[in-house]
Structure 1
């Protein structure tokens, strides 16, 4: 089994943020594992966390609280980092042969030989256990609900082999927190988090379609499917409809949660951010596609701020 030792030089991943903390500060033995977990690319856990935080904020407002439960927000952040890392490690294990044939992913730790498959499996289990510890802090309903998400997570890496809509399965997995954030407060679900979940799925298909345009040529050569390949030159139109649908479901969720005007103002500002993405999108500019994909962290802040400020004022 291949091992990494202090002092060994490891290869940076092609699509990591320049000057990230992993490349600058992590010891050499930790770097390949940090890259497996995508600690050098935090946008993934932000996108996994936002539905949790949005739901927690809407639930707090519906329950008459001034602010969402801070402890829950901390747990959701830790859980998002752990489970995003476990999910990415699992994805890299499943896709290890495909990744070696794609320019952007061939430098990942497994195909580049920095980490063995066995080591990756062990690391995945450790991250999943950290996520389990977080999940066990919630009520029984939420624990069961959290476990149900594992079915979707397990099948996601295989979807790109059989459907042009793998982004829809990613949406099902990445937005599960829209359900969990609500159930953590109430111990059950209602239509508001379901609407939030539906909107999140459309949002994810939109931003991940933009992201997938970076790989469309390599994907076509090796037979990997995606909405980027499906939509092609119609991507701007398709993503526009996806973002319109996402905004409509988010408005419905806020309405069902009895949110006030500032929540809707936040969604309106978020819609402007969506419009900006569509206007400047160039599907043949890989750097810009990555930039626009990452900009959805800002969208998350916009929506969350609107929900929190509205709840703060409404319940002051």
Structure 2
């Protein structure tokens, strides 16, 4: 009995992608950007703890909802056919209950913060639940994903300062641009399977112009991040970090040059370093800020 329970818990962990933290990291970095800037380098420890835990919980819930929405598609895609729902190791009702439990715990944590943050969290929940179903209706689900991942930014400012200033919305736009960049690279991995199954994505919409349009978005992202730094008063460390981010963008372009699925996936994974570089630039700015 114990072994059976352990096996099922392992399937739940796989369903939540606890073995693949890249999605959690891509959600975590912009959250940390926002918390550090909103807190002028000293985010409130309680707020920081709530948001880090919330990132893990909501990313896990989002993965469960995504696999529930794709449970009839995933068995036909090489990269996803071994997922728990696709294999029948977890029942659809179990997945829904797990997602609800994760969301409830995350919302319980948010209830320890101010009213504005709680209200914004309700909007974030709608974004998270709706995203997995959009690929059936639009070629732009990546924009919705960006809004879902970026929603932590206005929430972080609200939790830290009690307001959502213009700077927060500028950073929110930057996160949307970033998500479209990396999730288009991710969608390039599955493009052949998605075309057969009728699944929509920016990778399919962009077609042969995918590399060029990703490049345009990468440039716009750097401009948006530069504007964030200018408005937040960030200095040399941050601008050096943007230089690293620009170099990583060029490396990602090199990786996707032949549109090989494995290299496109490497380019997607490389965005973890991108988000880390920007955060390190913010962190060092506040560490070495003159007294």
Same fold (TM over 0.5): yes
Match of 1:209 among 184, 188, 193: 184
Show the counterpart of 2:26. Answer: 47
**How far has the Cα of 1:110 moved from its partner?**
0.9
Bigger mean CA offset, 165-174 vs 66-75:
66-75
With over 3 angstroms needed to count, the CA separation of the structure-2 counterparts of 1:134 and 1:267, relative to structure 1, is farther
Q: 1:283 to 1:209 in 2, by over 3 A?
A: farther
| 2:9 paired with 1:34 | no
**Residue in 1 aligned with 2:271?**
296
Partner of 1:233: 208
In the alignment, the residues of structure 2 paired with residue 69 and residue 254 of structure 1 have an alpha-carbon distance, to the nearest angstrom, of: 21
Q: Paired residue for 1:14?
A: none
Cα offset, 1:6, TM superposition:
4.7
Residues 160 and 166, structure 1, Cα contact 8 Å, conserved in 2: yes
2:43–2:160: 8 Å Cα contact kept in structure 1? no
> Could you tell me the TM-score, scaled by structure 1's length?
0.87
Unpaired stretches in structure 1, ≥5 consecutive residues = 9-25
Instruction: State whether residues 85 and 91 of structure 2, in contact with CA within 8 Å, keep that contact through their aligned partners in structure 1.
Output: yes
Contact 1:192 1:254 (C-alpha < 8 Å) held by counterparts: no
Q: Is the 8 A contact 1:36 1:109 kept in 2?
A: yes
Maintained 8 Å contact 2:255/2:264: no
Aligned ranges for residues 49-64 of structure 1 at < 5 Å?
A: 49-61=28-40
CA distance in 1, matches of 2:241, 2:146: 22
Equivalent in the alignment of 1:167: 142
Distance in 2 of aligned mates of 1:190 and 1:261: 24
- Alpha-carbon separation, structure 2, partners of 1:58 and 1:271: 21
**Given the superposition, is the C-alpha separation of residues 70 and 274 from structure 1 closer, same or farther in structure 2, using an over 3 Å criterion?**
farther
Q: 3-state SS of the aligned residue for 1:47?
A: helix
Taking the aligned partners of 1:290 and 1:284, their CA distance within structure 2 comes to: 10
Q: How many residues align?
A: 291
Shift of 1:7: 4.0
The structure richer in helix per residue is 2
Deviates most, 71-80 or 236-245: 71-80
- For residues 213 and 234 of structure 2, the distance between their equivalents in structure 1, rounded to whole angstroms, comes to 29
SS in structure 2 of the partner of residue 217 of structure 1: helix
Supply the RMSD in Å over aligned alpha carbons: 1.7
Secondary structure of 2:85's aligned partner: coil
Q: Structure 2: 5+ residue runs without aligned partners?
A: none
Cα distance change of structure 1 residues 155 and 29 upon mapping to structure 2, 3 Å threshold:
closer
Aligned to 1:138: 113
C-alpha distance in 2, partners of 1:280/1:94?
Answer: 30
